[in-house]
Amino acid sequence: MTQGANLTLRFLVAQAVVVVISLLSAVAVASLVGPPLFHDHLLMADRADELRHVEQAYQDAGLITLAVAVPIAFGSALLASFWLARKIQTPLRGLTRAATAVAGGNYDVKVPTGDAGPEVTTLAVAFNTMADRLAHTEEVRRQLLSDLAHEMGTPVSVLTVYLDGLQDEIVEWSPETQTVMSEQLQRLTRLIEDLDDVSRAQEDRIELDSTELPLGELIHSSATAAQEAYATKGVSLQAVPVTTPVSIFVDRQRFGQVMGNLLSNALRHTPAGGQVTISARRQGAGTVLIDVADNGEGLTSDQLGHIFERFYRGDAARNRDHGGSGIGLTISKALVEAHGGTLTASSAGSGFGTTLTIRLPLSTPSTSIPAVGGHPQGTSRPNP
């Protein structure tokens, strides 16, 4: 039997082998036993009982044939069933042991694919993939708890210190004290809102107030809102100008939130003197791609596979003391998908910058533009 045949084919072949062996056994026995029996009975017969001897010979030949063929068929069926059972049982036992190990919290277990057929192989591959994802999920869960403790612990600690100082009259209530406490409360509020946003977006509980809006105006507004932060750090923010007006059907507030997250992420990972560029291009008849590209730290292939996960931070690319909460890209991806689009990331590697690409459907598929982006007035000036 050809290795890799599916279980259905294997069962059919096994049954066919049993049937063929049974028929060959019956034919062989009938050919070897039948003629001598008929000959002997005819020699013993006379005219009076000739018919009876013929019938007796036929009956004896049939019984002997069945007596030999049935055990052979039964034995063949047992051998075929045993062979198939061994082929299937071995990988299934491995799967059972692996499942027991995973249930006990050991996610490093792997199941060999074996040669029991594509169905069992597919099951083994799916199980190994599940174990890998569970291991990664467990790792992310632990990191999430650590990050949450850190994100919430810092402002809570600051608030506790100031409240104790106020109570002990060590700290006086002043505009500076009010500012510090207000900032820490805002930080906690923002974290709670981010967590709620990402949960509602990923569970399709976000309500969008979508309208047809000019893409150039949306990008211009996003770039303008980020200009001050970019200028402070000394990073150039440029936007490719719109050559032909085009509109997309989006929720203005949510789209601004997405662009704000992408621009903040790009700024965080681009050193002073670097550059971030916003551009857009047409893809097909009814899709537009919006790129936010930086020439900063870049991402490794491993980081690219995880940057949209909650609270994920790469070793060098993200730092929880200087970075964000680790939820911004997760929220952005969920919001873009809620608009019927996709958000992807690409990078040539560490040190070669990163490009985040939003893919959205156009509200006017017939619109023909060679390139879009920036704002109608032209390219924004680089920051000093």
Who has greater pLDDT, 291 or 198? 291
Q: Which domain holds residue 235?
A: 210-361
| pTM of the predicted structure, to 2 decimals | 0.54
Who has greater pLDDT, 143 or 95? 95
* φ/ψ (deg, to 5) at 311: 65, 15
Number of domains in the chain: 3
Residue 86's alpha-carbon distances to 63, 82, 116, 124, 329, in angstroms, are 34, 6, 9, 17, 49
Residue 232, in any domain of the structure: yes
Mean pLDDT of 28-52: 60
Contact between 334 and 285 under an 8 Å Cβ cutoff? The reply is no
Residues 236 and 263 in one domain: yes
Mean pLDDT of 240-246: 77
Residues 214 and 354 in one domain: yes
Mean pLDDT of 168-179: 86
Nearest to 341 by CA among 133, 219, 201: 201
Residue 379 has pLDDT above 70, yes or no: no
Mean pLDDT of 364-384: 38
Residues 179 and 51 in one domain: no
Residues 55 and 135 in one domain: no
Please give the pLDDT value at position 373.
Answer: 42
Nearest to 114 by CA among 132, 131, 100, 98: 98
Q: Is 222 exposed, middle or buried (0-12, 13-18, 19+ CB in 10 A)?
A: buried
Residue 369, in any domain of the structure: no
Residue 378 has pLDDT above 50, yes or no: no
- The whole-angstrom separation of Cα 320 and Cα 327 is 12
Residue 383, in any domain of the structure: no
Mean pLDDT of 62-67: 66
Q: Angle formed by the axes of helices 252-268 and 215-233, to 10°?
A: 30
Residue 185 has pLDDT above 70, yes or no: yes
Residues 40 and 151 in one domain: no
Of the three residues 178, 202, 226, the one that is the final residue of a domain is 202
Residue 375, in any domain of the structure: no
Please give the pLDDT value at position 30.
Answer: 61
* φ/ψ (deg, to 5) at 309: -85, 150
Residue 372, in any domain of the structure: no
